[in-house]
A and B are shown apart, each in its own frame.
Chain A
Amino acid sequence: MSWRALLAQTSEEVRMTLEQGERLLVTFVIPILGLVLFSSVPIVSTGTPHRIDFFAPGVLGLAVISTAMVNLGISTGFERSWGVLKRLGSTPLRSSTLLTAKILAVLAVEVVQVVVIGAIAAGLGWRPHGPAGLAIAAELLGTAAFAGIGFLLAGTLRAEMTLALANGLYVVMLGISGIMFPLAKLGGFATVARLLPSAALTDVLHPALAGGAPVPLEGFVVLAAWAIAAPVLAAATFRFE
């Protein structure tokens, strides 16, 4: 692997994410607006002493969904339809280097998201305490799972379809994954929802960042299963043209 190529490709991937309005909308504006709005206005009851204690972990999960699935999936899908991936295929840049650059870029953007969202949440009174290592592990597993889903869409569907589906999934996951309201409010449907990687992610993040509460093993298991299955499926089906 050429380190110079990896560094240049990674920094361009990060730059392309941070310089385009529509990408910032999904990765920063919507999560931050959601965080501020829901934690300030008592629309739903959260069952926590401070509303921000419920919303901050969920939005940190949403950050991973937005960057690893929506942003990565849509941008890769369009690069495929524009012939960029095809063109890169005849340069010495290896596909493994390109993949590594894209994953590193996702992680870099996620670090910025965690810092910004964490700072805003702290400003709103959030005081996380808990096994931060578990939260980081969950975010990394979530990144693998959602990047896998993003690549799966990008590598098999038309770019416009990837755009529509990734945004659609984002909205659905925002709705039924313990981000906007506690999963328990879904009643029996919560069991089904917990099979989604998004619900599994917030299931782990909530207790991991609240301290004291036990982190559910099943959340980790579901998340890990997605983190393995989605990338494997994406790798098996990805078409460069």
Chain B
Amino acid sequence: MPAIEVDALRVCFGAVAAVAGVSFSADAGEVVALIGPNGAGKTTTVETLEGYRRPTSGTVRVLGLDPVADHRELAPSIGVMLQGGGTYPVMGAARALKLFASYYDDPRDPEELLDLAGLRDVASRPAKRLSGGERQRLALALALVGRPRVAFLDEPTAGVDPAGRLVVRGIVASLRDEGVCVLLTTHELAEAERVADRVVIVDHGLVVASGRPAELVTAAEDVRFSAPAGIDVGSLGAELRATVSETAPGEYRVGTMATPALVAALTAWLAANDLPLADLRAGRQSLEDAFLRLTGDPPGDGGGRR
């Protein structure tokens, strides 16, 4: 039985479908990242798994249980890190961890969690006076108090400095080693590539791709170049025997492998047409390129969709 199962999930707010058809699963000891632009439906999906929302249609199961109907049975086995907020502002990390430990039958030692999350030096500082990154790490530590079998981490590295990111990555890796299923969301692709065993790319409430980061990157092998806007892509495509598209004014993509022969043919065609070549990128793409190709959206562009 997978630790997390999402099958044809739709979640509507009024007439708007925040999640329009998402399916994926995650196993124990696996780290899965939901990535996508802001408003893609990542948080809604996670919050449905956490039991905060009911599916409009489709099903979700966590450890084989219904997150809403079986909430009491499930709550001791899940750890939740909400996207921002969720901690008492006046309470220091040590106090908050002790309080949360009282909710569970066999909690982790709050002292050990303070060290793990790198909060020892600020253990008694009220959460409202912690830095953004420290608050995130406190929220992460609070998600681990109950020894969860499934951890939901919504944007665990948002606003976290590079040193803090190392801490978060280390914690996620150790959870995987302990057999915990981790579902995290992020719009930072480099982060997903580093921590996740599998990524699920979501856009407009739909899964547009999923797989191991390396698979998605391989699938994205193509050639991109910059040249004056409006060149004859039909004629170039015929020459190269590949699809050529203008992805943005002056930005082109050739949908084929970057063989030396192809690059030679491309530059020869540009020379014959007296067109300058501003930029040429070939071979292995980053996950970011794969993401752009799949969603047509720049990831993590801050406030809302473009």
Contacts and interface: CB of A to CB of B under 8 A. Distances in A.
A82 B86 CA distance: 6
B67 to A, nearest CB: 9
B100 to A, nearest CB: 7
B88 A91 contact: no
A84 B52 CA distance: 14
Given A9-B102, A92-B146, A87 B82 contact: yes
Contacts, number: 67
B52 A90 contact: yes
B51 interface: yes
Contacts of A86: 52, 82, 85-86
Ranked 3 nearest A-B pairs via Cβ: A83-B85, A87-B86, A8-B102
Contacts of B100: 91
A241 B95 CA distance: 24
Contact of A4 (B78, B87, B102): B102
A82 B80 contact: no
B118 interface: no
B103 interface: yes
Contacts of A16: 88, 90-91
Query: Interface residue tally of chain B, by bracket?
Result: 20 to 34
A223 B146 CA distance: 43
Interface in A82-136: 82-84, 86-87, 89-94
Contact of A12 (B51, B91, B104, B146): B91
B90 A20 contact: yes
Given A12-B95, A19-B90, A92-B146, A84 B85 contact: yes
B99 interface: yes
B89 interface: yes
Interface of B: 50-52, 72, 75-76, 78, 80, 82, 84-91, 95, 98-100, 102-104, 142, 146
A172 to B, nearest CB: 28
A82 B75 contact: no
A24 interface: no
Contact of B80 (A20, A84, A87): A87
Q: Which of A9, A87, A89 has the most CB of B within 10 A?
A: A87
30 contacts: A2-B102, A8-B98, A9-B99, A12-B99, A16-B90, A16-B91, A79-B88, A82-B85, A82-B87, A83-B82, A83-B85, A83-B86, A84-B85, A86-B52, A86-B82, A86-B85, A87-B82, A87-B142, A89-B52, A90-B52, A90-B78, A90-B80, A91-B100, A91-B104, A92-B72, A92-B76, A92-B103, A92-B104, A92-B146, A94-B72
B102 A5 contact: yes
Contacts of A7: 102
A91 B87 contact: no
Contact of B84 (A2, A12, A83, A92): A83
